[in-house]
Copies of this chain bind each other. A is one copy, B any other.
Amino acid sequence: MAANEDPKAVAELLWGLRKAPSRGPRPAFDVTQIADAAVKVADAEGLEAVSMQRVAAELGFTKMALYRYVNDKAELIAVMIEAAVGAAPDLSGIAGWRAKLEEYARELSAAWRHHPWLPSITAGDRVMGPRETAWPESALSALADTPLTERERLDAIMLVSNHIRATHAAAIPGTQTWTSGEAAPIMRDLLLLNADRFPLLATTHATPSATTTQEFGLHAILDGLEHAITQRTPKG
Query: How many copies of this chain sit in the oligomeric assembly?
Result: 2
Residues of chain B contacted by A125 (CB below 8 angstroms): 169, 180-184
Chain B, residue nearest A139 (CB): B200
Distance of A155 Cα from B15 Cα, bound (Å):
39
Within 8 A of B (CB), among A106-133: 120, 123-128, 130, 133
> Which of B149, B208, B216, B222 contacts A207 (CB under 8 A)?
B149
Chain B, residue nearest A152 (CB): B216
Known A-B contacts A154-B204, A201-B133; A220 and B228 likewise in contact (beta carbons under 8 Å): yes
A191 located at the interface, meaning its Cβ lies under 8 Å from any Cβ of chain B in the complex: yes
A130 to B194, Cβ gap below 8 A? yes
A155 to chain B, nearest CB (A): 4
Known A-B contacts A162-B166, A169-B124, A177-B158; A227 and B217 likewise in contact (beta carbons under 8 Å): no
A166 to B169, Cβ gap below 8 A? no
Within 8 A of B (CB), among A184-215: 184, 186-187, 190-191, 194, 197-201, 203-209, 213
Q: Which 8 A-B pairs have the closest CB atoms?
A: A125-B181, A220-B224, A224-B224, A162-B166, A223-B224, A140-B200, A7-B183, A223-B227
